[in-house]
Amino acid sequence: LFTSLQYCTRCGMPSTEPEATFDEMGVCVSCQSSEQKMHIDWEQKDRDLRKILDAYKGKNPNYDCIVPISGGKDSAFQLYMLTHVYDVKPLAVTFSHNWFSETGARNLQWCLETFDVDHLMFTPKRSTVNRTARRSLEMIGDSCWHCHAGVGSFPLQVAVNYDIKLLVFGESAAEASPTASYENVLPYDRDYFTKVSAKFYPEEFACDYLPVSDLAGFVLPSQEEMDEHEVVGIHIGNFIFWDHEKQTEFLRDRFGWQEDHVEGTYKCYKSVECRMPGVHDFTKFLKLGYGRSTDHVAQDVRAGLMTLEEGNELIRDYDPLEPGILDYYLEITGYSKEEFYAIMDRHREAKGAISREDMQAALDDARRRSDTATK
C-alpha cells in the first residue's frame, strides 16, 4: 500500500479512499464534481425539482413526502427548503442511533419546532445498540453499522406502512464520494444505504449474540412492497447548489441551530448530533490512513477556503488522535483496547497495509507530497 499511494493533485485525498479514481491529471472524482457544479444550470434544476414535488403533492392525503432527519445541519436545511421554499408538507422521520449528544438532542427538537413538522422516531434498545456496535467493528471496521443500516431501513418502513411515495434526502453523493459525480448521479433505490455504507443486510450481520430477531428495525421492505407502494427517493442536493459552510451559517445565524466540538475534526458541525463520530472516524484513520479532518480539508481546498499546506497542519493535529469517546465504546462493547487495535489491524491488513507503523509513514508521506504541491 505504501509504495502505491496516490494523492489528488488538487485536494490531497489519498487513493486509499474506497473506490477512488483519478483522471489523467491526477484529479479525484470529488474535485471533478466540484468543477461540474460550476457549469450546471441550477435554475433549470430548481424547475425540475418543483415538478417532482408538485407531482407528489396530494398523492397521500396527509403528507407530500418523507424527510429523514437527524437534527444535523443537512437535514435541518432540507426541512427549511421544503417548508419555506417549496411549500410541501413533509413527515419527518428519525432513526435514532441512541447516541445523541446534548447539542444534537437540542438541535433535533429545535428542528421540529422551528419548521413545525410532524415527526416519527424509531430508537433501538440500548442492549441492541451495544451489541451491534461490537459486531460492527468485526464486520465493517467501524462502530456504526446500526446507524448506516437504520437510516436506510426506517424511512422505507414508514413509506410503505404510511403509503407515502416520495422520500427526500439531503446532499448528493457527488459532494464527497468517488461513487458518483454530478454528471454521473448515483440513483436512489432500496439498497442505496447498504451499498454505500452498511455493506451487510441484517440477515448477514446477525450472529450468536445478536440474533436477527433483534434487528427488525433494520430490515428493509421487500422490493415487491417498494413497487406496490411506488416508493421513490431523491437527493435534494442534486437539484440545488450545495454549500456546507453557507448552509450551516444560514441555519445558525438566522434560526439558532447550534454547533459544538466534534472529535476528529476542526469543524464544529458535521455529526455534531452524535457522541460517536470520534470512534467512527478514528477507525477510518486506522484502516485507510486518513480521517474526518482529511475529508474536511479536501472539501475546504476545493471550495477555496484554505490551501493544502494550511490543511495539512490541521490533519496533523486531528486525524491521528485517539478519541476520548473510545473508552465509552470499549465499555459498551466489552472489548479491551488491545482487542480493538487487533481487530483494526486485521481490517487494515485486508486493505493491503502491513503495520500501523507503515500506515503512519504513509500518512506522513501524503502530507509531504501535498506540501510540495502547494509550493
- What's the average model confidence in pLDDT over 134-154? 97
Strand partners, 94: 121
- What's the average model confidence in pLDDT over 319-330? 96
pLDDT at 363 over 70: no
Residue type at position 135: R
The three-state secondary structure class of 31 is helix
pLDDT reported for residue 373: 47
pLDDT at 374 over 90: no
Which are the contacts of 307, defined by CB distance < 8 A and separation ≥ 6? 301, 374
pLDDT reported for residue 350: 81
Res. 80 pLDDT band, cuts 50 70 90: very high
Res. 370 pLDDT band, cuts 50 70 90: very low
* pLDDT single digits (tens) 196-217: 999 999 999 999 999 999 999 9
pLDDT reported for residue 5: 85
Length of the chain: 375
Res. 361 pLDDT band, cuts 50 70 90: low
pLDDT at 3 over 70: no
- What's the average model confidence in pLDDT over 38-43? 97
- Give Dmax over CA atoms of the chain in angstroms: 60
pLDDT at 371 over 60: no
Q: Of 211, 227, 209, which is closest to residue 219 (Cα–Cα)?
A: 211
pLDDT at 4 over 90: no
pLDDT reported for residue 372: 55
pTM reported for the whole predicted model: 0.90
Q: How many helices (H) and strands (E) does the chain have?
A: 16, 5
pLDDT at 2 over 50: no
Cell reading at 177? 464520494
- What's the average model confidence in pLDDT over 278-302? 96
pLDDT reported for residue 364: 59
Scan for cell 458518483, then name that residue: 180
Q: What percent of the chain has pLDDT over 70?
A: 93
How many angstroms separate the CA atoms of 208 and 81, rounded?
A: 45
pLDDT reported for residue 117: 98
The three-state secondary structure class of 249 is helix
Q: Of 168, 165, 159, 153, which is closest to residue 68 (Cα–Cα)?
A: 168
Q: Of 72, 69, 68, which is closest to residue 260 (Cα–Cα)?
A: 72
pLDDT reported for residue 349: 84
Neighbouring C-beta atoms of residue 186, cutoff 10 Å: 17
pLDDT at 346 over 50: yes
The phi, psi pair for 221, rounded to 5°, reads: -60, 155
In the DSSP assignment, the letter for residue 255 is I
pLDDT reported for residue 357: 58
Query: What is the 3 state secondary structure string of 187-246?
Result: CCCCCHHHHHHHCCCHHHHCECCECHHHCHHHCCCCHHHHHHCCCEEEEHHHCCCCCHHH
pLDDT at 245 over 60: yes
Q: What percent of the chain has pLDDT over 90?
A: 91
Mean pLDDT of the chain: 93
373/288: higher pLDDT: 288
Scan for cell 438532542, then name that residue: 105
State the distance between the two ends of the chain, measured CA to CA, in whole angstroms: 26
- What's the average model confidence in pLDDT over 42-63? 97
* Range scoring the smallest mean pLDDT among 152-166, 292-306, 339-353: 339-353
